[in-house]
Structure 1
């Protein structure tokens, strides 16, 4: 008598509890909705306070002018960090938290702490209070306040924080929010100074401030804080064994961020052309180097996808073309566009989710093979495989089409279209011809 194939390919079961204990109910403060409510309330109160403080210093008109000018680089920076995170995109809630923390909580901490410290220094040495405040106090306070957001995501959203790219994205978005609020303050204050002095046009203080902060160095704050994010990213894939390493590297990243921030703030004390010298000889090369590092890390993640996923092909979880498709940004995009065009936007989102889960699975397997996955490896692997399996029928046509389209001419792709070597019989059918994707067809 024939038996039906199992619904899933075999995978390891959950490890038993050696003590035989059951599940414990979380305490009140451990419940997710309580943490979300408390965090949302904290950010909302911080936002209201920082709004009142900035408006008090700039005036209503200056605040509106500063807001309109400061928002200009925000979409560009957020889009750049989101593009960098396309291989394994993190949830939007993490980015919203990071931006809100930078714009509200970190900005409030910086304004209050910097003002208090500068006034305290002025009581002892009024002549050097502003210089010490800009080159010593501000870098320490601001980078610590921004780095707190990276620490919180690292501790409480650990599943979404798997490597350097995640650290760069969270740190960069946090610093973008901080720079947004700071630019409102500086531009609004400059506008108020122009109203008092009658300055207009290119010679105005507002135009000069806009050129320096928005045109020349919109990446300054993200560049500083990204060093902290890289430190946490290195700690993320170091695993549970290197506990000292997981503390030392983030602290080193934070200290580097403070040092770069102090060097940048102190450029005005290096002479008439000190600012431009530091900008051209230090900031631009550092920006290029960190950009290269982030892009190289993203390519490394794609290579991990191509190297680790074939194991799941042999087990019957994935189709033979999927490591090739999921390891190519071009093939991924083709698959998403094909699914959205033929089956609607929900199908396009399902393909994007499938790509994200598969990337997370590949990175998890690489960490497990290197002994860095931790005790929750089996459960997390099972969860990711289940998510992929539940979407397989919807995304398979798009992945097959992307494999045929993105493969080099004259070749069927690196894995061909043969069924997997192992797995339940009949779960995979050879790809059928699907209609060609033509975005210009009416």
Structure 2
């Protein structure tokens, strides 16, 4: 009789990090030194001077790019055209930035990162695009001896590649150097949106300023003016055009952030695919009139741009709801261990309860308490995402240190934030009985 065959071996599953137990006075023995330094008075050191030098150098670079690009735009539009273009181009910016910031409410990224993204798009990317596009148009006109076709070819082929690559650089820099704050699809969409909004702002100044200068030369006014037509097309009909293109790149980086570290091909291919799609959508938009006739612009706008915009909006909102579900499933384990009150995970998974908690803290203890609750919410959300990645088998190399750092931040704000969140959970009707949780065998890395 033959021996029974052994059952097939399953692929090894990466063990999840054990859940830390809570203590009234926890010992954060794995806390990174940089985090300990955050809680101590700042002293001059080589590290601080080096960081200040890097930040100062970056600000100086972006400021120089801003001065150069604005000077070039004013040279092409004239002073009056520049001021008119600046005023009209500013109108959609607050609305677009507010919309992207609203999408990022679950785990809001640092404002300094978003300010960098906007400044990069408005100054650095715009300067690279204007310089490269002008050079390419002149080279094509010289090579083909046909200036009209050079403009069409430059707008359809060269401009999408140059502009989307320049904007994608900001997304890549934050993805590569600020990986801790770049955790998913929503982060990619928001960073890309801020970058593209900045780029569109500078580009709109140029186009609106040129149109106004032309109107001054020809004496056109009212609805027949080039300024009114340009304003209608660029500000009223398609203020989301550049953000829509670059968001495709941001989605690629966001999906790469969700991929496991061992998936190197996926982490490289997804951003490149997103960039190629952004270039293709941009090329189709720019070439809609010249390639498809006088009604090509409206056809592309109605049949492609609007549906894609609606689809990406739905995808981003769905991703945000998914982030809230991640919070509701990952944080109850910390509540069972004692780090959070039982009602906190449910409150943190509800945007309404989060707002109620901040309002309650502001009414009872002032603005500083509301700010502490907001910070607590942000750290708790980051903790939920960290644990969720570990549950999926994607354990960060510095998981224990990062977990202790977030718990340390939360522990120092617990006395203010926990009562506010508990009140908000009950006031909004968000409290529910938590499910049972596994026993982590009493493991406590914080025990002295």
**Match 2:318 to one of 275, 288, 296:** 296
**Match 1:279 to one of 295, 301, 304:** 301
- Verify: 1:399 aligned to 2:406, yes or no: no
Cα 1:14–1:86 shift into 2, 3 Å: closer
Question: For residues 326-363 of structure 1, what are the alpha-carbon distances to aligned partners after superposition, in whole Å with 9 as ceiling and x for unaligned?
Answer: 00111111111111122111111111111111111001
Residues 189 and 254, structure 2, Cα contact 8 Å, conserved in 1:
yes
- Verify: 1:352 aligned to 2:371, yes or no: no
Aligned to 2:59: 40
SS in 2 for 1:31: helix
Give the deviation of 1:13 after TM superposition.
4.4
Cα distance in 2 for partners of 1:148, 1:330 equals 35
- Counterparts in 2 of 1:245-256, with a 5 A limit? 245-256=266-277
SS in 1 for 2:287: helix
Give the deviation of 1:41 after TM superposition.
1.3
Residues 102 and 146, structure 1, Cα contact 8 Å, conserved in 2:
yes
Give the deviation of 1:29 after TM superposition.
12
Cα distance in 1 for partners of 2:23, 2:339 equals 12
Residues 150 and 171, structure 1, Cα contact 8 Å, conserved in 2:
yes
Aligned to 1:176: 197
- Counterparts in 2 of 1:103-252, with a 5 A limit? 103-125=122-144, 126=146, 127-252=148-273
Gaps of 5+ in 1: 16-25, 424-442
Cα 1:354–1:29 shift into 2, 3 Å: closer
**Match 1:383 to one of 405, 408, 429:** 405
Cα 1:305–1:8 shift into 2, 3 Å: farther
Cα distance in 2 for partners of 1:8, 1:230 equals 42
Cα 1:324–1:388 shift into 2, 3 Å: same
SS in 2 for 1:75: helix
Gaps of 5+ in 2: 1-21, 33-44, 443-448
Give the deviation of 1:407 after TM superposition.
1.4
Give the deviation of 1:42 after TM superposition.
0.9
Give the deviation of 1:27 after TM superposition.
8.9
Aligned to 2:385: 363
Give the deviation of 1:45 after TM superposition.
0.7
Aligned to 2:101: 82
Give the deviation of 1:46 after TM superposition.
0.3
Residues 315 and 422, structure 1, Cα contact 8 Å, conserved in 2:
no
Detail structure 1 runs of 4+ shifted over 6 Å in the superposition. Answer: 26-30
- Counterparts in 2 of 1:424-435, with a 5 A limit? none
SS in 2 for 1:87: coil
Query: How many correspondences in the alignment?
Result: 403
Cα distance in 1 for partners of 2:54, 2:185 equals 26
Residues 43 and 104, structure 1, Cα contact 8 Å, conserved in 2:
yes
Residues 332 and 434, structure 2, Cα contact 8 Å, conserved in 1:
no
Residues 103 and 179, structure 1, Cα contact 8 Å, conserved in 2:
yes
Residues 9 and 315, structure 1, Cα contact 8 Å, conserved in 2:
no
Aligned to 1:263: 284
> What TM-score does the superposition give when structure 2 sets the normalisation length?
0.86
Task: Tell which deviates more after alignment, 147-156 or 120-129.
Answer: 120-129
Give the deviation of 1:310 after TM superposition.
0.9
| RMSD of aligned residue pairs (Cα, Å) | 2.2
Cα distance in 1 for partners of 2:76, 2:48 equals 38
Residues 171 and 229, structure 1, Cα contact 8 Å, conserved in 2:
yes
Cα 1:142–1:159 shift into 2, 3 Å: same
Task: Tell which deviates more after alignment, 153-162 or 71-80.
Answer: 153-162
Cα distance in 2 for partners of 1:30, 1:236 equals 31
Cα distance in 2 for partners of 1:142, 1:296 equals 29
SS in 2 for 1:391: helix
Cα distance in 1 for partners of 2:352, 2:434 equals 17
SS in 2 for 1:66: helix
